[in-house]
Amino acid sequence: MTVSQIDEEVAKLLKLKAQIGGDEGKHQFTLKTAKGTRDYNPKQMAIRERVFNTIIRCFKRHGAETIDTPVFELKETLTGKYGEDSKLIYDLKDQGGELLSLRYDLTVPFARYLAMNKITNIKRYHIAKVYRRDNPAMTRGRYREFYQCVNDRRILDGMFAVCGVPDDKFRTICSTVDKLDKMSWEDVKSEMVNEKGLSEEAADQIGQYVSMQGGMDLAERLLQDAKMSQSKQACAGLTDMKQLFSYLQLFQVTDKVVFDLSLARGLDYYTGVIYEAILTQNCPVNVSATQNGVDEKAEEGVSVGSVAGGGRYDGLVGMFDPKGRKVPCVGVSIGIERVFSIMEQKAEASARKVRTTETQVMVASAQKNLLNERLRLTAELWNAGIKTEVMYKKNPKLLSQLQHCEDSGIPLVAILGEQELKDGVVKLRTVHSREEVSHTHNSLFTSVWSPSPLVTIPGTLGGC
Amino acid sequence: MTVSQIDEEVAKLLKLKAQIGGDEGKHQFTLKTAKGTRDYNPKQMAIRERVFNTIIRCFKRHGAETIDTPVFELKETLTGKYGEDSKLIYDLKDQGGELLSLRYDLTVPFARYLAMNKITNIKRYHIAKVYRRDNPAMTRGRYREFYQCVNDRRILDGMFAVCGVPDDKFRTICSTVDKLDKMSWEDVKSEMVNEKGLSEEAADQIGQYVSMQGGMDLAERLLQDAKMSQSKQACAGLTDMKQLFSYLQLFQVTDKVVFDLSLARGLDYYTGVIYEAILTQNCPVNVSATQNGVDEKAEEGVSVGSVAGGGRYDGLVGMFDPKGRKVPCVGVSIGIERVFSIMEQKAEASARKVRTTETQVMVASAQKNLLNERLRLTAELWNAGIKTEVMYKKNPKLLSQLQHCEDSGIPLVAILGEQELKDGVVKLRTVHSREEVSHTHNSLFTSVWSPSPLVTIPGTLGGC
């Protein structure tokens, strides 16, 4: 029999076994996570922790507090908030009692929280997972920089009005405009005219506006625009846009922000300024340069979509308040999965090892029968707050103990041997230099704690 | 009309309004979180963060890595793992595609993860919420100390065998034994005999064993016990128990651990050692002492149930492996909600304020029309990595800016005034001492960063 014949035979037999429910029928499980979900292994978690810490540090720097809300809400809390996206909500099975849905974003639960607790003033951040029944196609790539697009719902609505879009078509035309990041203007226009029944003239007028990008200057120009200035709404939005740019000037970030009349955002609940953070990808193009004898591809920035987005939603809290009291809100949501996937790729590309533990010392033995001594020293180090590991075998080889340190990035090894025990000392070995120094008990603890080069724990990720 | 008549009339009118769908029918929402769930406000989150950090620090000290798994699993992944508790699993609605359930614990997803990734060696921690359709009655109280109960499933099964419990009744009798923390032995015995059909003689024999508590000595005595020693299983469990106590001696924690033959644990998947961490509550009893003219109640330790529990589950991973390969596992689950509720109560009882932000400096102005100057300095401080806040009003009063610092525990205020701007300085005020020092720009940044008493930020929680 050839190998492939054997494989085939084995496969047949396993299939048969599965059919008759072999091994007490236990093994017919599909061994997988649910569609659209994934596990995070320790390396991925170490990177995720870095990303989160960077973001949380930023929120804290700006004085934000954090809250948490449950993973599911009453179904009615989510009803009527997401427009066409509502079909993507995960519902829980009716098992008696309340009808529940998994949260679709953090904004609606936040609005519910504000209304419930009658809060009108809070700067909060909330890090949690949200659940959507779609098929996220994760584009991966190397990203060079990012910038932010800004627009205002009132400018969009004013623009629609002055271009002759009927009132009842605002939202659906807005959805079509939102596709400009993925479709050409020709295709967007065709959808407006042929699918949504807009007049070609109105579409063309919209086309002129949505191609505009700029800053303070553009807002000023549009306030003078013969058509645009006819809309009170548009003027209100443009005036606020000017104010926003005056703050951006104070913060010295105008080079990162673009006022873009094509930005629409999908969700229904925005009432004012809207924005997105866009990453620019490094894409190889067909120009090659030879440097140091190595072929390098010239690279060009290409937009790969948004990693964050948000806006003002002044009406949402009022929808939950018994008296309809409005609480103005503005916020941003960061697509952490995307940011994380970028960081993960960076880590893979870098030669640097990602540590998944923070262990400072491995307690090892050079001879047999020292398990009790190893455990005793380990407990002492733990009690002193030192991150310590010990191998669980009774008699591990010294080499395999040292190898484990190399593999997992543990910088120090405390080595016990018969002689050391007699002398009342411990040998402390620095893994990367292989240097060994004998220590008394007390000086051991000080050495591990002291901020000397001995305890430099290699960073888990460069540049993030 | 009296006030109560007015109230009554208003209530009637509001009810009528709700019936006819007043305010466009928007306000018939039930403004609540789903049953059994809760929100966490910023203060509660600050305490939760403290609790988590304490626990994570411990895991990291012991060299653990962390992983994450999705909040829902394929329904079949959870099937057949929880015995009678399965009815408490939340299922997702069948919306086409896979049948899904919210995770009921972190152990089964972990076993699935190990089998899927063919991992046989890992020390992991996993902090995440789990979902159970029960009515958790949260006992609150002041807790003094905790201890751990230990037993072994094999000792229990061996005990059942030698006491004459039929094989097919092991699990159900085990469930009854598990109730000994809430029920008297008489009631437990009655359930065994009258509901589960066990002979009175067998029940009495069990009764003698389950009253036993001890340590190494008890394990040794039971290994000599005429009846117990007849069971191979019990002997294996008792031998391991002796080994466990020898390690506990090395770690010097024997005073915290009790070998308790009544400990059973509900879940089906345990195969060896099982344990629980029990809190002892301070309960007022009827002895009063007068001290400093104030009546004080003497207090006595009363068990209020477990805050953590776990055990060995050597068979679970094999249930997911196509070839049934076993991976021995042992773990503990911490009931963080309970720990958290204790810490929350401690914080409430203490006079200390819980800070919900880490803001170091408030940028304030003493005169009007300095918004731009405030924003500019704020941005500079942010860029220097200093946690800074600024009030959003155009012309806030100095008093209300200082009051905000008092309320939220911000220790420093950088005050801008016309004179300071002319002189190129900033006044730095220490909130608690009201001391004010003028600084140039550079010395301001150094002052805020320097580890002087100026920057001592009061801790958010004492003693945790």
- DSSP assignment of A262-324 equals T---S-TT--SEEEEEEEEEEEEEEEEEEETTEEEEEEEEEEEEEEEEEEE-SSHHHHHSTT-
Residues A151 and A253 in one domain: yes
Is residue B32 scored above 50 in pLDDT? yes
Q: Evaluate whether residue A178 is within a structural domain.
A: yes
Return the pLDDT at B215. 95
Least Cα separation, residue A131 to chain B (angstroms): 10
Q: At B60, list the tokens.
A: 């990291």
Q: Evaluate whether residue A216 is within a structural domain.
A: yes
Question: Out of A123-132, B76-85, B237-246, which region has the weakest mean confidence (pLDDT)?
Answer: B76-85
Separation of alpha carbons B18 and B13, rounded Å: 9
Confidence of residue A379 (pLDDT cuts 50, 70, 90): very high
DSSP A226: T
DSSP E strands, B402-459 = 412-416, 425-430, 436-440
- Contact across the interface for A60 and B387, Cβ inside 8 Å: yes
Return the pLDDT at B18. 56
Which of A23, A92, A387 shows the shortest C-beta gap to B92?
A92
Residues B412, B363: contact at Cβ < 8 Å?
no
The Cβ of residue B414 has, within 10 Å, a number of other Cβ atoms equal to 26
- Contact across the interface for B67 and A386, Cβ inside 8 Å: no
* Residues in A touching B66 (Cβ below 8 Å): 42, 45, 49, 356
Least Cα separation, residue B74 to chain A (angstroms): 6
Interface of B with A in 357-376 (CB under 8 A): 357-359, 372, 375-376
The residue among A36, A102, A34 whose CA lies nearest residue B109 is A34
Separation of alpha carbons B67 and B146, rounded Å: 28
Q: How many structural domains are present in chain A?
A: 3
What is the average per-residue pLDDT within A341-366? 89
What is the average per-residue pLDDT within B188-211? 96
Give me the amino acid identity at A158: G
* Residues in A touching B124 (Cβ below 8 Å): 42
Greatest Cα pair distance, chain A, in angstroms, is: 95
Look-up of token digits 């000037």: A249
Helix A153-162 and helix A200-210, axial crossing angle in degrees, nearest 10 = 140
Return the pLDDT at B299. 37
Separation of alpha carbons A312 and A70, rounded Å: 23
Question: Out of A124-138, A271-285, A356-370, B100-114, which region has the weakest mean confidence (pLDDT)?
Answer: A271-285
The Cβ of residue B167 has, within 10 Å, a number of other Cβ atoms equal to 9
Return the pLDDT at A15. 65
Q: Evaluate whether residue A281 is within a structural domain.
A: yes
Question: Which segments of A are annotated as binding site for L-histidine?
Answer: 105-107, 132, 148, 265, 269-270
Is residue A284 scored above 60 in pLDDT? no
Greatest Cα pair distance, chain B, in angstroms, is: 95
Q: Tell me what ipTM this predicted complex has.
A: 0.80
Is residue B21 scored above 70 in pLDDT? no
DSSP secondary structure string for all residues of A9-41: HHHHHHHHHHHTTTGGGGGG---SPPTT---B-
The range of the structural domain enclosing residue A113 comes to 42-125
Is residue B109 scored above 90 in pLDDT? yes
The distance of Cα A368 from the centroid of its chain, to the nearest Å, equals: 48
Is residue A291 scored above 50 in pLDDT? no
For A218-227, the pLDDT digits (tens) are 999 999 999 9
Is beta strand A425-430 parallel, antiparallel or unpaired with respect to A412-416? antiparallel
B21 inside 8 A of chain A by CB: no
Separation of alpha carbons A326 and B99, rounded Å: 40
* Residues in B touching A69 (Cβ below 8 Å): 33, 39-40
Q: Evaluate whether residue B12 is within a structural domain.
A: no
Give me the amino acid identity at A320: F
Q: At A129, list the tokens.
A: 């997972």
Separation of alpha carbons B355 and B408, rounded Å: 6
Is residue B456 scored above 60 in pLDDT? no
Residues B275 and B171 in one domain: yes
* Residue predicted with more confidence, A359 or B336: A359
Residues A330 and A402 in one domain: no
The residue of chain B with its CA nearest to that of A372 is B250
Residues B451 and B307 in one domain: no
Return the pLDDT at A255. 92
- Contact across the interface for A31 and B247, Cβ inside 8 Å: no
Residues B257 and B378 in one domain: no
B23 inside 8 A of chain A by CB: yes
Residues B253 and B155 in one domain: yes
Q: Which of B312, B347, B378 is the last residue of a domain?
A: B312
CATH number of residue A430's parent domain: 3.40.50.800
What is the average per-residue pLDDT within A21-31? 57
Return the pLDDT at B134. 77
* Residues in A touching B76 (Cβ below 8 Å): 29-30
Separation of alpha carbons A327 and A318, rounded Å: 7
What is the average per-residue pLDDT within B57-82? 93
- Contact across the interface for B251 and A375, Cβ inside 8 Å: yes
CATH number of residue B264's parent domain: 3.30.930.10
DSSP secondary structure string for all residues of A131-187: ---S-------EEEEEEEEEEEHHHHHHHHHHTT--GGGHHHHHHHHGGGGTS-HHH
Q: Evaluate whether residue A10 is within a structural domain.
A: no
Return the pLDDT at B142. 44
Residues A202 and A309 in one domain: yes
Which of B60, B90, B112 shows the shortest C-beta gap to A92?
B90
Separation of alpha carbons A269 and A110, rounded Å: 13
Which residue of A66, A269, A389, A403 is the best one to mutate when testing the B interface, meaning the one whose CB has the most B CBs within 10 A? Answer: A66
Residues A341 and A365 in one domain: no
Residues A156 and A303 in one domain: yes
What is the average per-residue pLDDT within A156-167? 95
Residues B182 and B275 in one domain: yes
Separation of alpha carbons A343 and B35, rounded Å: 38
Q: Which of A69, A94, A125 is the last residue of a domain?
A: A125
Q: Evaluate whether residue A294 is within a structural domain.
A: no
Residues A446 and A331 in one domain: no
Q: Which of A63, A90, A125 is the last residue of a domain?
A: A125
* Residues in A touching B31 (Cβ below 8 Å): 112, 115-116, 320, 322
B280 inside 8 A of chain A by CB: no
Confidence of residue B452 (pLDDT cuts 50, 70, 90): very low
Separation of alpha carbons B245 and B252, rounded Å: 10
Count of helices and strands (H, E) across chain B: 16, 15
Which of A27, A71, A379 shows the shortest C-beta gap to B251?
A379
Question: Out of A229-238, A289-298, B52-61, B348-357, which region has the weakest mean confidence (pLDDT)?
Answer: A289-298
Q: Evaluate whether residue B79 is within a structural domain.
A: no
Helix B441-449 and helix B371-383, axial crossing angle in degrees, nearest 10 = 50
Which residue of A10, A47, A65, A124 is the best one to mutate when testing the B interface, meaning the one whose CB has the most B CBs within 10 A? Answer: A65
Q: Evaluate whether residue A382 is within a structural domain.
A: yes
Residues A172 and A100 in one domain: no
